Every structure is written in C-alpha cells, then in structure tokens.
C-alpha cells in the first residue's frame, strides 16, 4: 500500500481546516501531468510549506482528472480551498504564466478528509528532502511508510474520532483494506467526487446525445440522492443539462435494456418536445467501459417505478 505526502498551500489548508468539508479538490495549477501515485482508497497527506513543514491532515484518494477552472468551481465550490470563484481563479493565475481566462487544471479528488490539531502535527519522515516540489510516495512496507501509518493512526485515536467516522475510514480501520472499485463502492463519496467519476466514466459525453461540451454536462443520479441513492457511478448518468432536468422530473427515463424512453406528458403539458421525442427508443450513445460502472438494474427500476411519468 502506498501513502502520498503532497506539498500543500498553507492558505488552502487553513481555509479548509475551518470549513471541515467531506471532500476536497487538491488542485494542480499546471494541468498537464496525470497523478498516478495512488489507487482509490489510499491515503494522501497534507505537508504544509515553510515555516510549518509538518503533516497537518489528509484524505483518501478517489480520482484524478483535468477540468477547466470554471468547471472545477462548479463541481467543488469552496471545497477548492477558496471562498469564491474569482479568488479561486486569481489564485490559479498566480501560479501560471499563460494568462488564459479559463485554464485547465489538475484535480486530485480526496474524500473523508481530516485535519489534525496543530499541536499534533506530524514531522516529515527523515527521507523527506527540502527540494521536493510536489510530493513523495511512501510504501507501507518501508520504514518511513510505517512511520507515517503509525503517526496517522495515533492522531485519530488522540482526537477521538467517532465510531461512525472510524468505520468510514478504511485505512484506519483495516490496514489490509482493498482499493480500486471496491473502495469507490464502499466509500462515503461527496457530490463533487460523484460528478468527476461519472464525467470520466462516460468519456465526457452525454449518455443520451453524445454532446461533448463539458460545461453543459451534469452528473445525474438515477435513484435520487434525497431518497438514499448513493454517489456511485452505477447510480449515475452523464446528461446534458436540459435532459438532466427532464430525467429528474420523470419526463425521460432509461429502460432495463439501456434505451431511452420519453414520456407523452411532454407533448400533453407543453405542446412541444420534438427534439426529445427524436431520442425515444434510441440506445445510449455513451456508457462506462466496465460493467461495474454501468447503470444498475436496481436503480433503473426505481426510476421507472417511482419517478417516470408515462
């Protein structure tokens, strides 16, 4: 198992430590190199810059993606570590020299985020070099990896996390926990992580139309989150914004064999809908590449029985 220690902007950390969100976007202003150091569910620790130079918290890796700054803000909001969009955009521009109005940035999505009391911050391992710019990967089988594991474990005990939180943090509860898709199924993912995972699983294409204009696409829950529909890719569809609205209101649905069904109520209520009726009976234009992430028959059944209005 790997543990990653990322060099962390001090202002980003302070803002989020006060906010205490369930998830964060640990963004990279360059937006060119893919983060490959961790598998989903493995820990990512926050190492503050000078004058602090200590590990002050962390989270559990969910995914890495690239997003325009505007979409990153729509997806994570204040969980980007800034109070508003303009401050966020200005912070990104301060790290770049190209002056693009809406640059693409790297987004490391972390869930189950935790912040350590300042008097319990963890010293960096002996192998940490002052020349490290982005971060360093440690293996749990090595001495420094074991040191980090033990120190993080002890901080959880000292801060008396609730039993509920302990079961939600697989690293703390079970050092042999499995990672990858199993973690993403069990983890307490947030709305931002859900959107990122669904967006990338569907190849950034609307499942109904194939539309690829990213700002116009939204991650829809098949079984609504408000009625215990999970933030899980198998409970998600990437849809154009107008189709998302119609799907949530029951004017369109998905059949068990993954075809689009459009309600007669659109024409009856609005005397319109030609564009939408053209989709009726069509197979989905985009699907996840793995069966594990494809729409669940249970969630489809719920939408058909409880939300769709024929």
User: What residue ranges do the domains of the chain occupy?
Assistant: 2-186, 202-306
Q: What is the pTM of this model?
A: 0.91
pLDDT above 90: percentage of residues in the chain: 81
Q: Name the CATH superfamily for 2-186.
A: Hypothetical protein. (2.30.130.30)
- For the ranges 8-17, 41-50, 149-158, 178-187, the lowest mean pLDDT is seen at 178-187
Is the pLDDT assigned to residue 16 strictly greater than 60? yes
Asked whether residue 159 carries a pLDDT value surpassing 90, the answer given is no
pLDDT at 177 over 60: no
Q: Which residue has the higher pLDDT, 168 or 188?
A: 188
Task: Name, in order, each residue with C-beta under 8 angstroms of 108's C-beta and a sequence gap of 6 or more.
Answer: 6, 25, 26, 27, 28, 35, 44, 61, 64
**Tens digits of residue pLDDT in 91-100:** 999 998 888 8
For residues 178-216, one letter each, b for 16 or more C-beta atoms within 10 angstroms of the residue's C-beta and e for the rest, the string is ebebebbeebbbbbbbbbbbbbbbbeebbbbbebeeeee
Contact 231, 225 (CB under 8 A): yes
Beta strands 122-123 and 54-68: pairing type? antiparallel
Residue with the two structure tokens 């993954």: 258
What pLDDT sits at residue 191? 96
pLDDT for residue 164 is more than 70: no
User: Across all residues in the chain, what is the average pLDDT?
Assistant: 91
DSSP state at residue 79: G
Q: What distance lies between CA 293 and its chain's CA centroid?
A: 15
In the chain, % helix, strand, coil (3-state, to 5) comes to 40, 25, 40
Q: Is the pLDDT of residue 106 over 50?
A: yes
CA distance 114 to 77: 18
DSSP structure string for 80-130: GSSSSHHHHHHHHHHH-SS--SS-EEEEEEEEEEEE--GGGPEEPPTT--T
| pLDDT greater than 70 at residue 65 | yes
pLDDT, average across residues 137-155: 91
Give the model's pLDDT for residue 178: 58
**Is the Cβ–Cβ distance between 27 and 72 less than 8 Å?**
yes
């Amino acid at each position: 198992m790997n543990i990653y220690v990322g060099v962390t902007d001090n202002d980003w950390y302070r803002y989020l430590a006060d906010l205490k969100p369930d998830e964060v976007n640990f963004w990279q202003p360059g937006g060119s190199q893919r983060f490959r150091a961790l598998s989903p569910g493995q820990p990512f620790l926050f190492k503050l810059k000078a004058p602090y130079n200590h590990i002050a918290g962390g989270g559990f890796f969910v995914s890495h993606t690239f997003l325009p700054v505007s979409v990153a803000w729509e997806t994570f909001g204040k969980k980007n570590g800034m109070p508003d969009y303009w401050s966020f955009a200005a912070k990104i521009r301060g790290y770049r020299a190209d002056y693009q109005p809406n640059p693409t940035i790297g987004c490391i999505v972390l869930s189950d985020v935790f912040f350590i009391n300042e008097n319990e911050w963890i010293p960096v391992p002996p192998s940490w070099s002052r020349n490290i710019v982005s971060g360093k990967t440690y293996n749990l089988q090595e001495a420094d990896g074991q040191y980090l594991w033990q120190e993080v474990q002890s901080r959880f005990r000292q801060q008396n996390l609730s039993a509920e939180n302990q079961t939600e943090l697989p690293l703390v509860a079970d050092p042999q926990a499995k990672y990858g898709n199993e973690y993403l199924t069990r983890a307490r993912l947030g709305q931002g992580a859900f959107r990122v995972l669904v967006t990338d699983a569907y190849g950034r294409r609307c499942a109904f139309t194939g539309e690829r204009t990213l700002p116009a696409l939204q991650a829809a829950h098949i079984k609504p989150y408000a009625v215990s529909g999970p933030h899980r890719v198998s409970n998600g569809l990437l849809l154009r914004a107008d189709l998302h609205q119609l799907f949530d209101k029951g004017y369109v649905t998905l059949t068990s064999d993954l075809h689009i069904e459009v309600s007669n109520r659109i024409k009856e209520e609005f005397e319109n809908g030609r564009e939408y009726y053209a989709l009726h009976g069509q197979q989905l234009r985009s699907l996840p590449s793995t069966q594990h992430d494809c729409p669940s028959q249970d969630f489809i059944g719920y939408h058909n029985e409880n939300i769709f209005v024929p």
